[in-house]
Chain A
Amino acid sequence: MNAATRRLLSGNEAIALAAMDAGVHLGIGYPGTPSTEILEAFSLLKQNAQWAPNEKVALEVGIGASYAGGRSLVTMKHVGVNVAADPLFTVTYTGVQGALVLISADDPGMASSQNEQDNRHYAVAAGIPMLEPADSQEAYDFTLKAIEISEQWHTPVMLRVTTRVCHSKTIVKQNPNPPAPVQPNFERDIQSRVMIPAYARPAHRKLRQKLRELQAWNETSGPNKVHDGESTLGIITSGISFVHAQEAAPNARILKLGMTYPLPIAAVKQFAASVDRCLVIEEGDPYLVDAFRAEGIAVEGKDEMYRYGELNVNRVRKILAGDTTPEAMPPKGRPPQLCEGCPHRYVFTLLGELDCIVTGDIGCYTLGVLPPFNAMDTCVCMGASIGVGRGMRDVLPEEQARRVVSVIGDSTFIHSGITGVVDMVYNPPKTGHVLMILDNGTTAMTGLQEHPGTGRSLDHHSTNQVVLEDVCRAIGIKNVDVINPMKTDEMKTLVQQRLASNELSVIIARRPCILAAPKITQYERAAAQECGCSHECAETQT
């Protein structure tokens, strides 16, 4: 074994390496566990990696790069695809010129997510071909394969990965013959790219024709493999479930599907007919089982109890044995908590003290729901704090309405909070409303990523800054205050005053995340050195 040709990489690092090897022109996304490290690794490889304000914009930028003949990689977590769904459902009609690979990083078991939606359904609903790697080698190989498929059929391709593929390290060998580089070049193709109804109707038919061709290709040439074994037990599986199945049933015959949309139904039929008992092992929803049964293929699925959470070797053993005895809850570890010295702590202490009704949002500050604070009443999705708070104010009796406060972080505000502020201004509740932006100067929960409000790009170099207070004032909020949450008395007086008024207020509680602060200082020093002036220059900019 020659270590020089092998690397120990996470699935995320393997995707980034493949993107570099294939000459991807642009990697873009929004941070979200478990996808975040893909673009960070791509940047460390000195490639063009960018954070977008949210996943919808990321996909749109990626679409533009691909229309222009460039290769693009667009990364997000599963719930990010909900945000990007609008362009996704139409880019499959328009098709692309250069490769467009969408990474959907799903989180079965919800290690760090608000739901465990199974994004394989998106492939069917949007009509986008889907590949599912099982380990880092396949994450590498399938990224290259996705680029080939995308350019051969002029379609975006979804690479659907899960937490254990993204964050497990396994051995990877690079491909010495990646797809040949391409040169971006605009070619006008109005009927394909402009989706007015007259052009979209034929585009839909074209999409279905492409998918039929892709299905035929997948039957014979797709990245699917039969691992031979005894004919008494056959397993059909994909993604991470494959390795669990291999270990749980070492003697089984396994059909391992690499491309799970469009499905190679004839190959599946043939496989099912070759074994006495045919069982589908899949994590999450019964996606494969339902598809096979709809085609009249007799397969066994898993009991409903195994739909929840991740699979693992022991659970697959139980599924194989038809064991449905209730599972013991794993012992509880120590839950995550707001760090000692975290500026969010002061805000939640106050909101608890004032007995506010707090509509919360997605980020570290969601931990304000836990003891000792218990100071959050709702958390739905990115940006929801503002609309949910406004809706409550709209219908609640005045005494309760007056206690409602929306709380959102700086990165989440940029992601999808701004339109909520527009709604506040457009439909002001009788009691007014109070929005607190907890600005800690970073995207903390996902691991301290930059965003447009920090004024630094993904690689921490200076760029234009979106100033939160300017945005709120420009939209039409009369009372916009920027405070230091550690000055607790001042903060209390201000919040009480705003809650008592019938006007719209935004209070920006600004204090850097204690984990990010030393790094931010480093970036500012580096920026000052780059511009050739003193450190004070950087300090006065913040």
Chain B
Amino acid sequence: MASSKITNIVLAGIGGQGVLKASDILSEAIFQAGYDIKKSEIHGMSQRGGSVTSDIRYGDKVFSPMVPVGEADFLLILNETQVDNNKHMLKPGGVMIAPDAIDMNLLKNKRSFNVALLGLLSTYLDIDEAIWQQAITTCLPEKVVDVNREAFALGRQTAANPGR
């Protein structure tokens, strides 16, 4: 039973930033793209302003729901303070998407920062843009869908023009 290639993603931030919402959108997109997926996170005390992380793993067949230390292909960080305590999750050569990757001032609504970072991450993943758009619609209340689609587009453009 040789394990096929699994993509490991860790999202990290602090309570209230939308880490879990971002991981919901990401996992919905992966699920709709037809992969096997497992997503794992800790609820409870972490909601009170503490560190929050969410692990997402996908591929042909996923076993453990937790990304092993040092095996994350992508580490997406929503808050600068969470870099040091999460960078050990990344594998050598893995991609870290840090919060300064997005210019906050270009966002219409700063609460959609999480979705802007997803837009950037999406350029690395083999998932159709239409599926992403649908996942945003599925996971968010109708009144904030448009502003989050714009944030997502901003993230994708940022990836296309990294030399800002």
Contacts and interface: CB of A to CB of B under 8 A. Distances in A.
Interface string A303-345: 0000000001110000000000000001111111111000000
Contact of A170 (B41, B65, B84): B65
B137 interface: no
B64 A334 contact: no
Contacts, number: 126
Contacts of B28: 8
B46 interface: yes
Contact of A331 (B40, B62, B85): B85
B104 to A, nearest CB: 20
Interface in B1-51: 1-3, 14-15, 27-28, 31-32, 34, 36-51
Given A336-B50, A337-B50, A312 B1 contact: no
B14 A334 contact: yes
Contact of B37 (A8, A163, A251, A330): A8
Interface in B67-82: 68-69, 81-82
Contacts of A37: 43
Given A8-B37, A170-B37, A246 B48 contact: no
A37 B81 CA distance: 30
A314 B71 CA distance: 10
A238 B101 CA distance: 42
Contact of A334 (B1, B42, B44, B50): B50
A1 interface: yes
Q: Which of B47, B86, B88 gathers the greatest number of chain A CB atoms within 10 Å?
A: B47
B153 interface: no
Given A334-B14, A334-B82, A168 B45 contact: no
Contacts of A246: 1, 63-64
If over half of A's interface residues share one DSSP class (helix, strand or loop), that class is named, otherwise mixed; here it is loop
A111 B68 CA distance: 18
B147 interface: no
Interface string B120-158: 000000000000000000000000000000000000000
Contacts of B47: 336, 447
A163 B42 contact: yes
Contacts of A1: 34
Interface string B83-106: 011101000000000000000000
B31 A3 contact: yes
A470 B47 CA distance: 33
A167 B88 contact: no
Contacts of B31: 3, 8, 171
B107 interface: no
Nearest to A6: B31
A229 interface: yes
Interface string A84-125: 000000000000000000000000000110000000000000
A184 to B, nearest CB: 34
A446 to B, nearest CB: 7
28 contacts: A3-B31, A3-B32, A8-B31, A111-B42, A112-B46, A164-B66, A167-B40, A168-B39, A169-B27, A171-B31, A171-B36, A171-B37, A240-B65, A243-B64, A244-B63, A244-B64, A246-B64, A247-B63, A312-B64, A312-B66, A314-B69, A331-B85, A331-B88, A334-B51, A335-B50, A336-B47, A336-B50, A337-B48
